[in-house]
Amino acid sequence: MPIVVAALCVTFVWGMYLVYDVYDAWWFSRFILASWPFIMLGTAAVAVFVTRWHPAITVPAVAIVLVAVSLHQMQFAVDKNTFNLWAGERRYVVAAKMARRLTPRNSVIISGQHSGSLRFYAGRVSMHYDPIDRVWVDRIVDWFIARGVHPYMMLEDWEVPYVKEHFAGQRVTAALEKPVAEYYDPGTLYFYDLDPHASLPAKPEIVTGTYRDFWAVEPVPAPTLVYRP
């Protein structure tokens, strides 16, 4: 029975992984981590089973294969910069802290790549731009402004062309020509004020570097909005 459960788990996880989308990078393999313990147990069981055939030959052979595979995977991890990814990922913390410093608590930030981390590390209400209909984005911005909520937008450099196309012909795209803050290293991130009546700085504030504080970063209080009648 345990073997059947393990097999069903692996089949289910891999089935969802294979039919969900096309993954073109190694880091998407994290979606199958739930099946990894069972795969490793199965690999170990096969290795033990093989070593029972002529142990004098199969034991060294299996050991050599396992060491070779391990070294290959270690080299793959080094080549793909796996052990340094954490430094780049901390940019989400830096960006969120920048947004928290530049925005009042009663604000909303339209974003995509950072829509989750903004809530977690900045304590600001966020909206993902994808579900917003093109003809509604200006109305949404005006609706928030009329109720005392300040609207902003945060985009990665590769998101800017997509958002401009997604909201083509709308007033909000004009704000994307003049960011109020920019983050560099690694990548480039832009922060925009969507209030057409806001007083913008002559030059955007420049923020560089990655988060270099403690490994664990505590989340800030959950965001809330207060709407003006």
For 92-147, the pLDDT digits (tens) are 888 898 999 999 999 999 999 999 999 999 999 999 999 999 889 999 999 999 99
Question: How much is the pLDDT for 31?
Answer: 84
CA distances from 85 to 14, 37, 77, 94, 186 (A): 25, 24, 11, 15, 11
Structure tokens at 221: 């209080």
Tokens of 198: 């806001």
In this prediction the pTM is: 0.75
SS3 96: helix
Predicted local confidence at residue 225, as pLDDT:
83
**pLDDT beneath 70, residues of the chain:** 210-216
Cα angle at 85 between 113 and 176, to 5 degrees? 30
Give the number of other Cβ atoms within 10 Å of residue 52's Cβ. 9
Distance CA 174, CA 141 (A): 13
Handedness of CA 130, 132, 137, 142 (dihedral sign): negative
Which of 202, 121, 106 has the alpha carbon at shortest distance from 152? 106
The 10 Å Cβ neighbour count of residue 154 is 30
For residue 152, what are the CA distances in angstroms to 111, 130, 222?
A: 9, 15, 18
pLDDT of residue 80: 82
CB atoms under 10 Å from CB of 111, counted, come to 27
C-alpha span between 180 and 165 (Å, rounded)? 21
CA nearest 175: which of 183, 167, 186? 167
Tell me what pLDDT residue 214 has. Answer: 59
Tokens of 68: 């070779």
> What is residue 150's three-state secondary structure?
strand
**At CA 176, angle to CA 107 and CA 190, rounded to 5?**
70
Query: What is the structure's pLDDT at 129?
Result: 95
**Residue written as token pair 């410093």:** 101
pLDDT in the model for residue 212 = 64
3-state helix, strand, coil in the chain (%, to 5): 55, 15, 35
